[in-house]
Chain A
């Protein structure tokens, strides 16, 4: 008989053998990469937004390239995000940039060099995609939500609804597969009109499941006292330290300072329309 690896009882004898390192790791969750300090997700967000503002307004070639490079280096330094991981998500999204490039080349505005403008638009959109993707890949979404609740006072209800929503993504994917299979099996040998109906029914069934799951989660949260709590505590705190202030100040000064230099040197170009 193979030995059972699972504990047999639910209520095992109470012992004092807690894991002391567990408490420490949960009470001081500040994460470090290669011994470096890691910024608070909100500080990282503000820093990245500071980089995105000049790119958003630029219509030249240099600004997007420069800010994309700086953005990646900062993320690489502060979170250890690898270039390979970043490229894996940026590469498919860059088709959007290619589309914008082609649109400008094939249908240029009057009096505008289509190729020149196309490259500028391509670089701008690629830079925005890279900056936002690098942020998304660099942060832990749960830590971002914790920060939003702890630092920016996002309502606990919304915060934990986001937690639950994030948890539900793999469940939704699993349900979608099961729904499609269950309906394929049911409709095997049926006329085509039923198959067409299925196309509409799958999203409805999925949505119904998501709503039901949401209702149950909401009840579960209420049953555990989330609805009535005014000021809750967190065993996992995402600290905001002086270094985070320093980080956003440096990022802001650096980003806007560089922007100023680019404007003064005539490399930055901005056009309306």
Chain B
């Protein structure tokens, strides 16, 4: 018997002429585990919301055709864990769906205490959910989704904010759920899904295509690569002078190989004995040193709150920095004017909207171009070339805020690469990117490195990083490994 059934279903967002989904049909049975995949903006999340009964009821839009949802209880985990937090304590967050069902408080407390214990969160019960790390927060979201004993679990990119180990653990734990729970998920990191799903449904241009097997992941082999490389991690923590770079790059067939760049005498970015502690808290990190010559790439990893974002904030002057700690081309960053310091940097924030200034994509690219010219970018038309490569040329007249999440992310990358500044700082650059765009980004970053641009990024996407000539360094308990 089908648990979910849609027939000839079409869905259109308000104010859009073209439907996101166009006369699609799908039947889902109890216990099935289904992956919805496809390019960014293809309508996967919308389909998931329709199947979860959230769209159009709570999102607006016009739905035509037949939809039969025969389950009574559902659990939903959305992309951004921060945007799922409603209450001020973890225990109330867990209790929230049960309170909505009108279950007596005593029973709710018993069930929440069981869940806290089951999910290893007993110590967090009274903490504010927003004080948790990204991984803990997403774990809480999964726990909340399971609180009401759901028949169907809907997961929309649940591992976006998790590093590879945590993401693998997340799927390992999903496998341990009772087999009668139906799971429908959207996920770009196919390499994590080995043998998890029973059905693979591609969403493309408003249609659904049932595939025979899992989508071919261009980055799949990298999991193996990264695990092999992990043996090279030094045994002890690094303090003071940096250790020898751990080269984990391995080019894809389609990506030109990258040669070691010529090292100039003065590194582009140098950090000397940097320490930081927040008021009333123990030292976050101490005596941290890094050297980034031109044409190199460094990725910082580690659990949330470990200090990787703090390092970026110090470089970007979001936090005060003392003299003699951060040097750009041999000049003390603390002594440079803000204007002078920033003229070296292109920054890709985690939220792409933070970067937008102009009213259209075209203006955004023009603005990046003029900066590119000033900084001697190799080609004046590079931004438009990039826009073409990232499939953004058909959106040139669109307001950047009206792009889909994937398109916004692609635009920020276009802008940063086109600005032609020597140091590109990126905060989770692959978040929200599909496989195809991850590959394009990979190629462009390789090209930037060849052109002597230096890249410093925070990224949990180990498979992606393993395809770059990139040094990965991990924060753990105040040490940089």
A binds B: yes
By a beta-carbon cutoff of 8 Å, the part of chain A in contact with chain B is: 1-2, 5-19, 22-23, 26-27, 142, 156, 160, 163-164, 167, 170-171, 175, 177-179, 181-190, 194, 197-198, 201, 205, 208-209, 212-213, 215-237
Closest residue of chain A to B154 (Cβ to Cβ) is A223
Question: Which B residues touch A19, using CB under 8 A?
Answer: 113, 122, 125
Partner of B108, one of A17, A194, A226, A235: A235
> Can you list 23 A-B pairs with a CB-CB distance of less than 8 A?
A8-B169, A10-B120, A11-B176, A14-B114, A18-B116, A19-B113, A23-B109, A170-B130, A178-B354, A181-B347, A185-B342, A186-B367, A188-B343, A197-B357, A205-B356, A216-B83, A217-B86, A220-B86, A223-B76, A225-B101, A229-B101, A233-B102, A235-B105
Question: Which B residues touch A217, using CB under 8 A?
Answer: 83-84, 86
In the complex, the answer to whether B173 meets A14 with C-beta atoms within 8 Å is no
Chain B 59-82, CB within 8 Å of chain A: the 1/0 string?
A: 100000000000000101010101
By a beta-carbon cutoff of 8 Å, the part of chain B in contact with chain A is: 49, 52, 54, 57-59, 74, 76, 78, 80, 82-88, 91-92, 95-97, 99-106, 108-110, 112-114, 116-120, 122, 125-126, 130, 135-136, 139, 142, 144, 148, 154, 169-170, 172-173, 176-177, 235, 237, 303, 316-318, 338-339, 342-343, 345-347, 349, 351, 353-358, 367, 370-371, 374, 401, 415, 419, 476-477, 479
Question: Which B residues touch A163, using CB under 8 A?
Answer: 86-88
CA distance A18 to B118 in the complex (A): 10
CA distance A14 to B146 in the complex (A): 14
Per CB-CB distance, the 7 closest pairs between chain A and chain B, nearest first, are A18-B113, A7-B120, A188-B342, A216-B83, A223-B76, A225-B100, A10-B173
Partner of A233, one of B86, B105, B169: B105
> Distance (Å) between the CB of A222 and the closest chain B CB?
4
Closest residue of chain B to A237 (Cβ to Cβ) is B105
Partner of A185, one of B177, B346, B477: B346
Partner of B342, one of A8, A184, A208, A224: A184
Besides A182-B347, A186-B355, A225-B101, 15 more A-B contacts (Cβ < 8 Å) are A5-B477, A9-B173, A11-B118, A16-B114, A19-B122, A160-B87, A167-B85, A177-B318, A178-B349, A181-B317, A188-B343, A216-B83, A220-B78, A223-B74, A224-B144
Question: Which B residues touch A209, using CB under 8 A?
Answer: 351, 353-354
Partner of A222, one of B58, B88, B144: B58
> Distance (Å) between the CB of B86 and the closest chain A CB?
5
> Distance (Å) between the CB of A164 and the closest chain B CB?
5
> Distance (Å) between the CB of B338 and the closest chain A CB?
7
Question: Which A residues touch B110, using CB under 8 A?
Answer: 18, 23
In the complex, the answer to whether B415 meets A208 with C-beta atoms within 8 Å is no
CA distance A189 to B169 in the complex (A): 46
In the complex, the answer to whether A182 meets B354 with C-beta atoms within 8 Å is yes
Question: Which A residues touch B316, using CB under 8 A?
Answer: 181, 185
In the complex, the answer to whether A219 meets B108 with C-beta atoms within 8 Å is no
Partner of A236, one of B92, B119, B317, B345: B92
Closest residue of chain A to B166 (Cβ to Cβ) is A10
CA distance A255 to B476 in the complex (A): 60
In the complex, the answer to whether B88 meets A225 with C-beta atoms within 8 Å is no
> Distance (Å) between the CB of A162 and the closest chain B CB?
10
Question: Which B residues touch A26, using CB under 8 A?
Answer: 91, 105, 109
With A9-B120, A10-B139 as known contacts, state yes or no: A189 contacts B339, CB within 8 Å.
yes
In the complex, the answer to whether B97 meets A18 with C-beta atoms within 8 Å is no
Closest residue of chain A to B113 (Cβ to Cβ) is A18
In the complex, the answer to whether A188 meets B339 with C-beta atoms within 8 Å is yes
> Distance (Å) between the CB of A226 and the closest chain B CB?
5
In the complex, the answer to whether A219 meets B59 with C-beta atoms within 8 Å is yes
How many A-B residue pairs lie within 8 Å, measured between CB atoms? Answer: 218
CA distance A163 to B87 in the complex (A): 6
CA distance A229 to B96 in the complex (A): 11
In the complex, the answer to whether A164 meets B342 with C-beta atoms within 8 Å is no
Question: Which B residues touch A27, using CB under 8 A?
Answer: 105-106, 109
In the complex, the answer to whether A190 meets B87 with C-beta atoms within 8 Å is no
In the complex, the answer to whether B58 meets A235 with C-beta atoms within 8 Å is no
> Distance (Å) between the CB of A138 and the closest chain B CB?
18
Closest residue of chain A to B57 (Cβ to Cβ) is A222
CA distance A201 to B78 in the complex (A): 28
In the complex, the answer to whether A10 meets B343 with C-beta atoms within 8 Å is no
Question: Which B residues touch A234, using CB under 8 A?
Answer: 99, 105
In the complex, the answer to whether A18 meets B117 with C-beta atoms within 8 Å is yes
Question: Which B residues touch A187, using CB under 8 A?
Answer: 357
CA distance A38 to B154 in the complex (A): 43
B135, B136, B237, B355, most chain A CB atoms within 10 A: B355
Closest residue of chain A to B350 (Cβ to Cβ) is A178
CA distance A205 to B142 in the complex (A): 30
With A10-B169, A183-B357 as known contacts, state yes or no: A224 contacts B113, CB within 8 Å.
no
In the complex, the answer to whether B119 meets A11 with C-beta atoms within 8 Å is yes
Question: Which A residues touch B169, using CB under 8 A?
Answer: 8-10
With A2-B237, A185-B345 as known contacts, state yes or no: A178 contacts B318, CB within 8 Å.
yes
Partner of A190, one of B109, B338, B371: B371
In the complex, the answer to whether B100 meets A224 with C-beta atoms within 8 Å is yes
CA distance A227 to B113 in the complex (A): 25
Closest residue of chain B to A184 (Cβ to Cβ) is B342
Question: Which B residues touch A233, using CB under 8 A?
Answer: 99, 102-105, 108
CA distance A185 to B401 in the complex (A): 20
In the complex, the answer to whether A223 meets B78 with C-beta atoms within 8 Å is yes
Question: Which B residues touch A8, using CB under 8 A?
Answer: 169
In the complex, the answer to whether A223 meets B99 with C-beta atoms within 8 Å is no
> Distance (Å) between the CB of B474 and the closest chain A CB?
11
CA distance A227 to B342 in the complex (A): 47
Question: Which A residues touch B52, using CB under 8 A?
Answer: 223
With A22-B113, A160-B86 as known contacts, state yes or no: A186 contacts B351, CB within 8 Å.
no
In the complex, the answer to whether B173 meets A205 with C-beta atoms within 8 Å is no
A19, A184, A227, A233, most chain B CB atoms within 10 A: A233
In the complex, the answer to whether B125 meets A22 with C-beta atoms within 8 Å is yes
> Distance (Å) between the CB of A230 and the closest chain B CB?
8
CA distance A169 to B60 in the complex (A): 27
Question: Which B residues touch A225, using CB under 8 A?
Answer: 97, 100-101, 148
In the complex, the answer to whether A12 meets B100 with C-beta atoms within 8 Å is no
CA distance A25 to B263 in the complex (A): 62
> Distance (Å) between the CB of B353 and the closest chain A CB?
6
In the complex, the answer to whether A1 meets B235 with C-beta atoms within 8 Å is yes
